[in-house]
């Protein structure tokens, strides 16, 4: 029983240490290479990569950069797959008659 408790404590300690190291590395300044335009675009690209959009057909959340966009007038709808996009477009066409 003591052995299991020590294994549990050790595994929690390792997980906590990994999180602390990851947190410290995330906050570390990165080396800047290239021209100023590339460095100013990097935060915008990183922010776009983190943004999640929801598929209106199946409800799955997908990263915006990985989604399949469909332009509908002024609105852009994002899909997780081509099958979901085709299903959405089929419903729209059936509704419009």
Contacts of 48 (CB under 8 A, 6+ apart): 64, 65
> 78: closest CA among 90, 69, 65?
69
pLDDT band (50, 70, 90) for residue 15: very high
Q: The whole model's pTM is what?
A: 0.48
Contacts of 62 (CB under 8 A, 6+ apart): 52, 53, 54, 55, 78, 79, 80
pLDDT, tens only, 39-88: 555 666 666 567 889 999 998 998 888 889 989 889 999 999 999 999 99
3-state helix, strand, coil in the chain (%, to 5): 60, 15, 25
Residue 85 neighbours by CB distance under 10 Å? 20
């Amino acid at each position: 029983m003591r052995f299991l408790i020590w294994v549990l404590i050790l595994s929690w300690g390792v997980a906590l240490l990994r999180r602390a190291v990851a947190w410290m590395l995330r906050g570390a300044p990165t080396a800047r290479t290239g021209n100023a335009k590339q460095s100013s675009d990097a935060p915008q690209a990183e922010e776009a990569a983190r943004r999640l959009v929801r598929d209106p057909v199946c409800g799955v959340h997908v990263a915006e950069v990985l989604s399949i966009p469909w332009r509908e007038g002024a609105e852009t709808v994002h899909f997780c797959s081509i099958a979901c996009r085709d299903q959405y477009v089929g419903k729209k066409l059936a509704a419009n008659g």
